[in-house]
A = this chain, B = another copy of it.
């Protein structure tokens, strides 16, 4: 199934952490509190800062903080910031780049799916990620099989018990 990269997953954890801390957070604090290795945290904070989701203050007593309220940051924003604006298929742009029309009849469908997925991502804000127990905008009936159910053999959790990255 579709998946996000581990770094995006880490990035989300970092953003949730910044949501909890109203104050300016240096990278070292974020690393200590999340258990993610410092270099990785630094890299992600830089990326997030460049994307505009967070802002930085240099120098002593500096650090990072969110630029917007958590409810104004969507999952789509996070994905865009950390994975770039890649679409679900490479040629799902405005079909200008794909000329093999006879074979590309599937392309239109992927674009529709892409849009639907994007809508789902726009509906979830960082505020809701911060507190997932609260009522959620995405309440769908159980689907019989969610993909997530099937996996059972992961050797290591994404955000594991071990401190930092192995």
CB within 8 Å of B: which residues of A?
1-4, 6, 9, 12-13, 15-17, 33-36, 75-76, 79-80, 83-94, 97-100, 103-124, 128-133, 136, 138, 140, 143, 146-152, 154, 157-161
**Identical subunits present:** 2
Interface of A is mostly: loop
B150 A90 Cβ-Cβ under 8 A: no
A157 B120 Cβ-Cβ under 8 A: no
Residues of chain B contacted by A36 (CB below 8 angstroms):
103
A116 B138 Cβ-Cβ under 8 A: yes
Residues of chain B contacted by A85 (CB below 8 angstroms):
1, 147, 150-151
Would you give the shortest CB distance from A136 to chain B, in whole angstroms? 6
Would you give the shortest CB distance from A40 to chain B, in whole angstroms? 13
- Return 14 A-B CB contacts under 8 Å, by A number: A1-B80, A1-B85, A2-B88, A33-B103, A35-B100, A76-B147, A85-B151, A90-B158, A91-B157, A105-B131, A105-B132, A112-B136, A118-B143, A118-B146
